[in-house]
């Protein structure tokens, strides 16, 4: 999907709650695209997911999804199914990553 011009580089108000650790009103959605995509893939509701899919290209979202270490297994699996991606192409779903993650955080 092509990027829309409606909201420019800013995060829409309805999605700002997912950026509790920064001032979302000042967050540049293009400059920090990876951060924005990761956060909305993990925490976003249907409305913010629609904005994400309209604002960023499928290629960009899938690229982040494949490389990120920031998603839970549940979220990563959901988005893998949504985009029709094999699980073995997503880093945070790989067995190797899970072993490393469990070694650091044993809970």
pLDDT in tens, the chain (107 residues): 344 444 468 999 999 999 999 999 999 999 999 999 999 999 999 999 999 999 999 999 999 999 999 999 999 999 999 999 999 999 989 866 555 555 455 55
Q: Is the pTM of this model over 0.95?
A: no
Phi, then psi, of 10 in degrees rounded to 5 = -95, 155
Q: Which residues contact 60 (CB under 8 A, 6 or more apart)?
A: 33, 37
CB 90 within 8 A of CB 70: no
Q: Report the run of H or E that residue 104 belongs to, with start and end.
A: helix 95-104
Of 45, 49, 71, give the one whose Cα is nearest residue 58.
Answer: 49
Token readout for 45 is 């509701």
């Amino acid at each position: 999907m092509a990027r829309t011009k409606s909201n420019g580089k800013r995060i829409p108000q309805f999605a700002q709650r997912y950026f509790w650790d920064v001032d979302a009103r000042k967050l540049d959605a293009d400059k920090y695209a990876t951060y924005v995509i990761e956060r909305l893939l993990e925490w976003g509701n249907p409305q913010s997911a629609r904005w994400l899919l309209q604002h960023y290209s499928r290629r960009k979202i899938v690229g982040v999804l494949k490389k990120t270490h920031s998603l839970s297994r549940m979220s990563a699996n959901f988005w893998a199914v949504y985009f029709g991606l094999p699980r073995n192409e997503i880093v945070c779903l790989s067995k190797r990553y899970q072993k490393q993650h469990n070694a650091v955080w044993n809970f």
